[in-house]
Amino acid sequence: MSSRAIGLSPELYDYVRACMPPEHPVLAWLREETAKLGGISRMQIGSDQGQLMQIFVRMLGARKVLEIGCFTGYSSTAMALAMAPGGLLITCDVSEQHTKLAREAWARAGVADRVSLRLAPALETCDALIAAGESGTLDLAFIDADKRNYEAYWERCMTLLRPGGVVLVDNVLWGGSVIDPSIDDEDTRAIRRLNGKVGRDPRVASAMIGIGDGLTIAVRS
């Protein structure tokens, strides 16, 4: 058996997508609406990653979820759709403009009751949750915002997750930049720093997978 991952050609990726369940109509609508924003729409996760994240929500029976990086709401809507009523998904962003579309998506998907948007720098929101006594209570966290703060977000998630809780970190391969020695900008360095730390962090069991732009999955001890 090969120890290497199979590279997905566009045709093979289409095949994988075709074998997965169809995208929820609200998520398909949100993808179309977000595409109208132009290049920035690349920040949105893929539908295959959304479906994987829904599996984590279901496997954990997640009732309390933190998302760091809402944008137009694809990942939050996907996760909220997989949560049972009565659950709470707190999502952080600093953009009033982009999260307007997210609010519309939650309403259309019928999940607005379980989503709470915090429009503030995510570190402030994390620290407010810790100050409010929420340490050790989160079932699932998703880190997908400014890369420079990835390590700080990781530490906040270590505090906030319950034992057995899961943190997902997006963009950990950063378009391949992580292994390109000619690239040395602050975002790339921050991702490399976190990637170098996660595998040796005794507080978690972790794996890195090649979905989307690379996803780290870690379970809190």
Among 144, 191, 217, 218, which residue interacts with ligand SAM (rule: CB under 6 A)? 144
Whose Cβ is closer to ligand SAM: residue 92's or residue 157's?
A: 92
Size of the site for ligand SAM (CB under 6 A): 19
Q: CB-based contacts of 99: which residues, under 8 Å, 6+ apart?
A: 70, 71, 72, 73, 93, 117, 119
Of 150, 154, 202, the closest CA to residue 171 belongs to 150
**153 near ligand SAM, judged by CB under 6 A:** no
Distance in Å from the first CA to the final CA of the chain: 31
Candidates 10-18, 141-149, 155-163, 204-212 — which segment interacts with ligand SAM by CB under 6 A? 141-149
3 state DSSP class of 86? coil
CA 6 – CA 95 distance, rounded (Å): 37
Instruction: Provide, rounded to whole angstroms, the least separation between the CB of residue 144 and ligand SAM.
Output: 4
- Asked whether position 44 contacts ligand SAM by CB under 6 A, the answer is yes
Q: 29 near 107, Cβ under 8 Å?
A: no
SS3 label, residue 5: coil
Q: Is residue 152 involved in binding ligand SAM (CB under 6 A)?
A: no
Q: Which 47-106 positions form the footprint of ligand SAM (CB under 6 A)? A: 69-72, 74-75, 92-95, 98
Q: Tell me how far, at minimum, the Cβ of 74 lies from ligand SAM, in Å.
A: 4
Which residues contact ligand SAM by CB under 6 A? 43-45, 69-72, 74-75, 92-95, 98, 121-122, 144-146
